[in-house]
Amino acid sequence: MDYKSYFRPTVDAMGGYTPGEQPKVLDLIKLNTNENPYPPSPRVEEVLRDFDTAKLRLYPEPTADSLRDVIASVNGVQRENVIVGNGSDDILTIIVRCFCDAKRKMACIDPTYSLYPVLGELQGAECVRIELDDDFSLPDDILEQAAVANLLMFARPNAPTGNLFPRERVEEICAHFRGIVFIDEAYVDFSENNCLDLAMRYPNVIVSRTMSKSYALAGVRLGYAVANAKIIDGMMKMKDSYNVNMLTQRIAIEAFKDGEYLRRMVDKIISTRNRIAAALKELGFTMVPSSTNFLFVSPPDGNGRLYFEELRKHNIIVRYFPGKKTGDYARISIGTDAEMDRVMEVTRSIYGAK
Amino acid sequence: MDYKSYFRPTVDAMGGYTPGEQPKVLDLIKLNTNENPYPPSPRVEEVLRDFDTAKLRLYPEPTADSLRDVIASVNGVQRENVIVGNGSDDILTIIVRCFCDAKRKMACIDPTYSLYPVLGELQGAECVRIELDDDFSLPDDILEQAAVANLLMFARPNAPTGNLFPRERVEEICAHFRGIVFIDEAYVDFSENNCLDLAMRYPNVIVSRTMSKSYALAGVRLGYAVANAKIIDGMMKMKDSYNVNMLTQRIAIEAFKDGEYLRRMVDKIISTRNRIAAALKELGFTMVPSSTNFLFVSPPDGNGRLYFEELRKHNIIVRYFPGKKTGDYARISIGTDAEMDRVMEVTRSIYGAK
């Protein structure tokens, strides 16, 4: 069959985003995509057991009002300040499509969630990359560098580095940037503070969250964004009408209501994280202080790729990000205590003798 | 709080798509969004009852290979010919984003699924509207009118009209149009034939399907498209990485395997449809021949809006599409026999005496 390309040239030219591997082999320790090692709230099981499947013949609530009310209540905002998405990836796509195009650039820090510039490419919007300082902190001239863009995106806590930019610095950026400031709080439940109030106080600030990490619900796809009502209204026009399916809406409502379970699981993960961080430091690892459910660590010889590959040989999958600064590191999601003990055992066998 | 708009002007200027109402009142007869009146396959219930909720902590298969294999097998194609979406709305968004932009126009027939031009607006792509003939058939000069576009979209069977454009005419369009021909087969299980083979035989043809109608799974959001591997490859770059959640993948696999149940429900709906069509004709209604699970009917006085409003007074919701030609009609989704008997009872009370 003859083939000429019908695609927009930008689609042909790009490679696409590569998500972390979802291996099908069973006895691997999977610490590569920052999933929660514990199951979601027991209420999720109840939802599935009790769900009336006959209802699935109907479309879900297009504006997901019941779910948005619960999210609003958990966060002390109003329904009109909340939009839900098919995972926070959906929220990110909506944002880039709302605020960027061939004339309206985006800016993002580097490194950060590597999907952002891919979304810019897909939208045909130029992406200004703003390099972080050597310790992965925000550069002093971030506002000057971002000034050409209509959208500035970063994660806080940042990924894959795990550090938390100072709140005052972020507020300063919100107050002075002339476009939209998007703060991705995917990992915020593992950190000391958040920026939700900035989304309510500044007309140009959007904060997003996800159930994929702290809530252990990556499989159901639920992300949300909080901003002032005018921003949310515009974003609602861009989303697919029924972007969040009926089961996910129901599951999310119950999981959000179980704040006690969330807190317990998060505390457990933070405690494991801190224990492993200390153990790795003892072996001579350096690392970025983590406010997340992962550690971004550099082995004693500074060879992140080698560490990644050695763990892989022992059936432990972590994530490696090639790059000038990131290449010295490997990113390890925090698993169960047993999984992390195995990581330490293998790590000691590699670096312990040195 | 001061507000200036940060949005792309096209987003500010547009109204957004309005999906059919999903009323929360209980004792309504809901015949407005072409949902299936019967529950999905009993296997769906089994999936939910047996599902290991601990697995929801993991991301779903990003490329949904297991599901694509089942879809490929059901349709006699290969996995590489299939992409799945979060409902076929997701597929539509992916297609418009792949093939259209400020320079690459889209074309769609009018009337057809009213979401298409909205997707064009969101993408900043001009949409050429090609008016159907008075009997809602394809105009002779469709190729000439569409020639300026890179993407030509229509539904077959068409919505909201319900008629089936002749296959030979559609093949002619596929053979001669210089861009992508997109054929939306949302209602195809209720019709006499389909165009899937065209997607396999022509390099520029994409056919989409959904589980929202015939499979009674509008709530889970699963649509898919079939095309040659190069088209699918490009579309995969555009989709969100984890666009179909884990439960939907699992449910869809089981429902696709239960072809016997599908056939039984579809036959039942077609039989009800034909019975009601005959009864309405007896009352002096005119209608478009339906190859779908709905009827597009014009009452004896030709006042579609009045019929819509009268049914609404009796707690029966159907859909009305204002417009030069569509305004003479109301669209009635086929419900259960009992629901349709009630529709006939009310309809007779309005038009029976004339």
Please compute the mean of the pLDDT values over residues A96-120 and round it to a whole number.
96
Tens digits of residue pLDDT in A230-242:
999 999 999 999 9
Q: What's the confidence (pLDDT) of residue B22?
A: 73
CA of A55 vs chain B CAs: smallest distance (Å) = 7
Q: Which two tokens stand for residue B286?
A: 């005119």
Q: What percent of chain A has pLDDT over 90?
A: 91
Q: Which two tokens stand for residue B218?
A: 């509008």
Torsional sign, CA A251, A254, A260, A263? positive
DSSP state of A84: E
Q: How far apart are CA A89 and CA A209, in angstroms?
A: 10
Q: What's the confidence (pLDDT) of residue B3?
A: 62
On chain B, the residues whose CB falls within 8 A of the CB of A56 are 39-40, 44, 216-220, 251
Q: What's the confidence (pLDDT) of residue A21?
A: 75
Top CATH class of B9-40+260-351 equals: alpha beta
Asked if the Cβ–Cβ distance from A19 to B62 is below 8 Å, we say: yes
Q: How far apart are CA B338 and CA B342, in angstroms?
A: 6
On chain B, the residues whose CB falls within 8 A of the CB of A228 are 1, 3
By DSSP bridging, strand B127-131 and strand B149-155 are: unpaired
Tens digits of residue pLDDT in A8-19:
988 888 888 887
At position A98, the amino acid (one-letter code) is C
Top CATH class of A42-257 equals: alpha beta
Tens digits of residue pLDDT in A176-223:
999 999 999 999 999 999 999 999 999 999 999 999 999 999 999 999
Helix spans in chain A (H): 9-13, 42-50, 65-75, 88-99, 115-123, 142-146, 167-176, 196-201, 229-238, 246-257, 259-282, 304-313, 337-351
Q: What's the confidence (pLDDT) of residue B25?
A: 67
CA of B289 vs chain A CAs: smallest distance (Å) = 25
The CA-based diameter of chain A, rounded to the nearest angstrom, is 62
Look up tokens 């515009």; give the residue.
A234
On chain A, the residues whose CB falls within 8 A of the CB of B225 are none
Q: What's the confidence (pLDDT) of residue A76?
A: 98
Point out the residue among A8, A220, A248 whose CB comes nearest to the CB of B101: A8
Point out the residue among A216, A236, A242 whose CB comes nearest to the CB of B56: A216
Please compute the mean of the pLDDT values over residues A155-170 and round it to a whole number.
98
Q: What's the confidence (pLDDT) of residue A77?
A: 98
Look up tokens 């039989």; give the residue.
B271
Work out the pLDDT band at A2, boundaries 50, 70, 90. low
Q: What's the confidence (pLDDT) of residue A4?
A: 77
At position B204, the amino acid (one-letter code) is N
CA of A22 vs chain B CAs: smallest distance (Å) = 7
Q: What's the confidence (pLDDT) of residue A353?
A: 59
Q: What's the confidence (pLDDT) of residue B306?
A: 97
Q: For the packed helices A246-257 and A42-50, what is the interaxial angle rounded to 10 degrees?
A: 140
Asked if the Cβ–Cβ distance from B40 to A55 is below 8 Å, we say: no
Point out the residue among B101, B237, B248 whose CB comes nearest to the CB of A245: B248
Q: What's the confidence (pLDDT) of residue B27?
A: 82
- Considering chain B, tell me which residue range(s) the CATH 3.90.1150.10 domain(s) occupy: 9-40+260-351
Contact A314, A155 (CB under 8 A): no
- Considering chain A, tell me which residue range(s) the CATH 3.40.640.10 domain(s) occupy: 42-257
Q: What's the confidence (pLDDT) of residue A118?
A: 95
Q: What's the confidence (pLDDT) of residue A123?
A: 95
Residue B324: CB atoms within 10 Å? 9
Q: Is the pLDDT of residue A330 over 80?
A: yes
Preferred mutation among A32, A36, A53 to probe B, highest tally of B CBs within 10 A: A53
Asked if the Cβ–Cβ distance from B122 to A245 is below 8 Å, we say: no
Contact B165, B190 (CB under 8 A): no
Note down pLDDT in tens along chain B; length 354 residues: 456 788 998 888 888 888 777 776 668 999 999 999 999 999 999 999 999 999 999 999 999 999 999 999 999 999 999 999 999 999 999 999 999 999 999 999 999 999 999 999 999 999 999 999 999 999 999 999 999 999 999 999 999 999 999 999 999 999 999 999 999 999 999 999 999 999 999 999 999 999 999 999 999 999 999 999 999 999 999 999 999 999 999 999 999 999 999 999 999 999 999 999 999 999 999 999 999 999 999 999 999 999 999 999 999 999 999 998 899 999 999 999 999 999 999 999 999 854
Q: What's the confidence (pLDDT) of residue B272?
A: 98
Q: What's the confidence (pLDDT) of residue B4?
A: 77
Tens digits of residue pLDDT in A65-106:
999 999 999 999 999 999 999 999 999 999 999 999 999 999
Q: Which two tokens stand for residue B83?
A: 């992409």
Work out the pLDDT band at A255, boundaries 50, 70, 90. very high
CA of B69 vs chain A CAs: smallest distance (Å) = 16
Asked if the Cβ–Cβ distance from A219 to B245 is below 8 Å, we say: yes
Q: Give how far Cα B191 sits from Cα of B167, B196, B213, B332, Å.
A: 12, 13, 12, 17
Q: How far apart are CA A286 and CA A296, in angstroms?
A: 9
On chain B, the residues whose CB falls within 8 A of the CB of A11 are 98, 234, 237-238
Q: How far apart are CA B122 and CA B124, in angstroms?
A: 6
